[in-house]
Structure 1
Amino acid sequence: MSAPVLYDVADGVARIRLNRPEASNGLDVELLRALNDAVLAAHGEPGVRVVVLSGEGPNFCAGGDVKTFASKGEELPAYLREATAWLQIATASLLRLKAPVVTAVHGFAAGGGGLGLVCASDIVVATRSARLFSGAVRVGMAPDGGSSVTLAQIVGVRKALELLLLNPTLSAEEAREIGLVNRVVEDGELADAVDELAARLAALPPLAVAATKRLVWDGVGASIEARLGEEARVVSELSGTADAREGLAAVIERRRPEFTGS
């Protein structure tokens, strides 16, 4: 089996690619461990000037792997405690990278994982056909991946609450209009656009780039890392409810869920 995350470095650009295309790069413990390993590898290489994050297959990342979650039954809270712990570490590591993170979004960026990774990135380029949404509440969960903080910092509190509670599916252009995405390109132009942007960033003075990134994130998101643990606690707690199991089942069975508040 191929690795769930692919990592390589060339010309000062580290490329991290989510590699579970058959599952729309759904996040499970194995992938999240590998993602953290890749981010730490980028941390440890002094020649890395830019990190490009992308997904293999038709989607960037569909969020948590709901089929894996549903298969855990009553063991789901324990499984999610481990999964969210790895997601916390990977998200915090992305935010703490000295190198800027450019994320390439195609297909869907969804859930605490997909949307959370987008929100933890420094610059986001999306294809015109890309779609973004949270989706956590609709399956009886709560947002994670830092998105309960980062999304509000990016789009504002009221817009963040609308996106997290009502779960509208945003087009790439709608995401650009509210500042969630920096650029929208035609579907066949994503790789070239990201490569051009990465080359421009790699040519800048790395100490100044790192200092600028740190000043901005420390200024607007001082509580992000502190909130990651609380997000994980709430998600694990909610995953043990009947509503969460019903939400996961409804997604897999492609039907409307019936929540009971238990």
Structure 2
Amino acid sequence: MTSLDGLSRVSLEGDVLRIAIATADNGTSLDFDGVDQGTQALTAVSAGTLAARSVLLIGEGANFCAGGNVRAFAGAENRGEFVGDLARTLHEFVRAIDATEVPVIAAVQGWAAGAGMSLVCAADIAIGGPSTKLRPAYPSIGYTPDGGMSWNLPRIVGVARAREILLTDAVLGADEAVRVGVLSRLVGDDEVKDEALRVARTLAAGPTSAYAGIKRLLEGSGSATLSEQLDAETASISAAAGTPAGREGVDAFVEKRRADFATNR
């Protein structure tokens, strides 16, 4: 994939890959056209056939994502098979998010419920507003989590707090979501999308190879001993020093000028 022709839910805005995971259709429930197209685009980014240096997850409507389309669940002839197929499609998207080495930013306006909350937890940075609310929403319909929530949420808030949030189907207001780390920070409700795009653009202009190294180190830290992590850090920083971005960053510092990471990746 060298272009996004025919993909209506994804777009390349400069170096930022924008993925719409929900639209106003069906009450901003998860849009599986966006999910599938997002997987295709992210796979191309990881393969180096699509030039994007950051990713922006966004909902087109009042909410980031209100979760799955429960009416569609109810109308399915075989609900288990139908929901299982949807989960597998969503999980390919989550795997693609996890595999990408560029920063992933979520613009979390309004509600992020069910799979919407799962995708917030999967992002590297999540920007919300005072009116942002998050809720697992699975127990309320007798379901269990998908979208990686049972893996990501405990790593963000701790196992005990994750148990409480999931079992009680807790609604997290914006301030609480920042306090426990699900949201990175808050801006005005009408600024969420613009600020998330600004962050995505800022990171897209930064040292892409260093960001990739940071994400790899963080990914491995959960299962590594301190000694193993120190060895990984040694190998990573040594490699970074020899990259174009590493050379440019040091040279710019010494020369007292702004680093040009856009052409020295």
Gapped regions of structure 2 (runs ≥ 5): 1-5, 225-265
Deviation at 1:63, TM superposition (A): 1.2
User: 1:139-187 CA deviation, whole Å, 9 max, x = no partner?
Assistant: 1110111110100000000110111010111111110011110011111
8 Å contact kept, 2:64–2:109: yes
Name the aligned partner's letter for residue 215 of structure 2: K
* Structure 2 residue 37 is matched with structure 1 residue 34: yes
Deviation at 1:6, TM superposition (A): 1.5
Residue correspondences, number: 218
Describe the SS at the equivalent of 1:59.
Answer: coil
Q: Which residue of 2 aligns with 1:11?
A: 14
Name the aligned partner's letter for residue 61 of structure 1: C
* Structure 2 residue 71 is matched with structure 1 residue 55: no
Deviation at 1:109, TM superposition (A): 0.3
Gapped regions of structure 1 (runs ≥ 5): 223-262
Residues 78 and 123 of structure 1: CA distance in aligned 2, closer, same or farther (over 3 Å): same
Q: Which residue of 1 aligns with 2:70?
A: 66
Q: Which residue of 1 aligns with 2:246?
A: none
Counterpart Cα distance in 2 of 1:26 and 1:195: 22
Deviation at 1:114, TM superposition (A): 0.6
Deviation at 1:200, TM superposition (A): 2.1
**What is the CA RMSD across the aligned residues, in angstroms?**
2.0
Q: Which residue of 2 aligns with 1:141?
A: 143
User: 1:71-129 CA deviation, whole Å, 9 max, x = no partner?
Assistant: 014x1111112111111111011011011100000111001x11110111000001211
Out of 172, 181, 191, the position equivalent to 2:193 is: 191
Q: Which residue of 1 aligns with 2:27?
A: 24
Deviation at 1:46, TM superposition (A): 5.0
Counterpart Cα distance in 2 of 1:32 and 1:12: 20
Counterpart Cα distance in 2 of 1:136 and 1:91: 18
Name the aligned partner's letter for residue 156 of structure 2: I
8 Å contact kept, 1:105–1:125: yes
Out of 96, 99, 109, the position equivalent to 1:93 is: 96
Counterpart Cα distance in 2 of 1:6 and 1:162: 35
Describe the SS at the equivalent of 2:9.
Answer: strand
Counterpart Cα distance in 2 of 1:216 and 1:5: 33
Deviation at 1:213, TM superposition (A): 0.9
Deviation at 1:48, TM superposition (A): 1.1
8 Å contact kept, 2:65–2:111: yes
> Which entry has the higher C-alpha Rg, 1 or 2?
2
Alignment of 1:138-177 (within 5 A): 138-177=140-179
Q: Which residue of 2 aligns with 1:238?
A: none
Counterpart Cα distance in 2 of 1:221 and 1:65: 36
TM-score (norm 1): 0.77
8 Å contact kept, 2:22–2:29: no
8 Å contact kept, 1:4–1:20: no
TM-score (norm 2): 0.76
Counterpart Cα distance in 2 of 1:39 and 1:221: 25
Counterpart Cα distance in 1 of 2:100 and 2:223: 15
8 Å contact kept, 1:110–1:132: yes
Relative contact order: is structure 1 or structure 2 higher (C-alpha 8 Å, sep ≥ 6)? Answer: 1
Counterpart Cα distance in 2 of 1:175 and 1:5: 31
8 Å contact kept, 2:109–2:193: no
